[in-house]
Amino acid sequence: MDNLVKIRGLRFRRGSRVIFDNVDLDIQRGKITAIMGPSGSGKTTLLKLISAQLNPEAGTVIVAGEDIHGLGQSDLFEMRKRMGMLFQTGALLTDLNVFENIAYPLREHTRLDERMIRYLVLIKLHAVGLRGAANLMPAELSGGMARRVALARAIILDPMMIMYDEPFGGQDPISMGVLIKLIKTMNDNLGLTSIIVSHDVAEVSMIADYIYIISNGNIMDKGTPTELEKTNSEWARQFLKGLPDGPVHFHYPAPEYSKDLFGT
């Protein structure tokens, strides 16, 4: 199997809380891999570890054959030019308009003339359906539009891999449909490798080639969407079907009910 990202023995803590404990994980080249799990399970942290925004306590993250945490700043920045990331909020630069936000990486890293920059930006904006919004400021965009602009910015340098952090969070059904279609189309047409972090089971299952479900610092289950439908793991079944009770209890651990009420 051709893996673009190989994670081995990953261990990461925030204070005394263990987020990942000896995790192994592979991301296949050219595929859409989803990382799913409940809130607070460390999905976004995993993306930050893959992109070396955070350093692990132990273990390695190999991206395109390079140990990303062993790279110096200039090599890391070279690697990041080949990676795109879509943040939960879009993370657009608020003092630049849509056009300038997308042109920003081109202006920073290339010596293209203004005509060529305009040409490339408009192509990417057209691909996300927002060519007409080129002159709007980020504050004038809806949440869905902001994420589409951020997506256009993430692909402007034609990266090998793109990471999506909760791309569907808080989106209306139309925006969600647009984003699902865009992620799938971009991945197939541009030959990208996509990693989606999300807990929107139905939407992610529609487009993901492989899914990892993580919780409590470990991988609880993994497989293709079809394989996970028939999973034997009770925990994974509860998560995928959204059942209110199961291995993850409805009640937060508490003293006995009658004792708490009557103190006897």
Partner 1 sequence: MQNIVCWITNCFELLGQWAVHLFERIGRSALFLTRIFKSIPAAIVRPWLIFQQLYSVGVLTIVIVLVAGAFVGMVLGLQGYNILVRFNSESSLGTMVGLTLVRELGPVVTALLFAGRAGSALTAELGLMKTTEQFSAMEMMAVDPFKRVIAPRFLAGFISMPLLAAIFSAVGIYGGYFVGVALLGVDDGAFWAQMQKSVDFHEDFMNGVWKSITFGFVATWIALFEGYDTVPTSEGVGRATTQSVVHASLAVLSLNFILTALTLETN
Token digits of residue 120 = 């490339």
- Here's the x/- map for partner 1, 35-54, by CB under 8 A: it reads as ----------------x-x-
User: What is the smallest separation between the CB atom of 72 and partner 1, expressed in angstroms?
Assistant: 13
- Smaller CB separation from partner 1, 56 or 84: 84
Applying CB under 8 A, does 235 fall inside the site for partner 1? Answer: no
Based on the shown chain and the rule CB under 8 A, indicate whether residue 24 belongs to the binding site for partner 1.
Answer: no
135 is a contact residue toward partner 1 (CB under 8 A): no
How far is 72 from 215, CA to CA, in rounded Å? 31
- In the list 94, 189, 232, 264, the residue contacting partner 1 (rule: CB under 8 A) is 94
**What is the sign, positive or negative, of the torsion defined by CA atoms of 188, 30, 241, 47?**
negative
Closest CA to 200 of 182, 220, 179: 179
Q: Are 60 and 67 in contact (CB under 8 A)?
A: yes
As a whole number of angstroms, the distance between CA 254 and CA 19 comes to 23
CB of 95 to partner 1, least distance (A): 9
Q: Residue with structure tokens 């569907």?
A: 168
The region of 15-23, 86-94, 125-133, 205-213 touching partner 1 under the rule CB under 8 A is 86-94
User: Which residue in 85, 152, 176, 228 binds partner 1 (CB under 8 A)?
Assistant: 85
Select 2 or 108, whichever has its Cβ closest to partner 1.
108
Confirm or reject binding of residue 75 to partner 1 (CB under 8 A).
no
Count of CB atoms situated within 10 Å of the CB of 5: 21
In the chain, the amino acid numbered 220 is M
CA distance 157 to 54: 23
Contact between 137 and partner 1 by CB under 8 A: the answer reads no
Give min distance, CB of 87 to partner 1, in A: 5
- Contact between 158 and 191 (Cβ < 8 Å): no
For position 110 contacting partner 1 by CB under 8 A, the verdict is no
Q: Residue 185 phi/psi, 5° resolution?
A: -65, -45
Residues 150-209 that bind partner 1 (CB under 8 A): 150, 153
What's the distance, CA 123 to chain centroid?
24
Our finding on whether 148 is near partner 1 (CB under 8 A) is no
Residue ranges that bind partner 1, judged by CB under 8 A: 51, 53, 73, 77-78, 80-81, 83-85, 87-89, 91-94, 104-105, 108-109, 150, 153
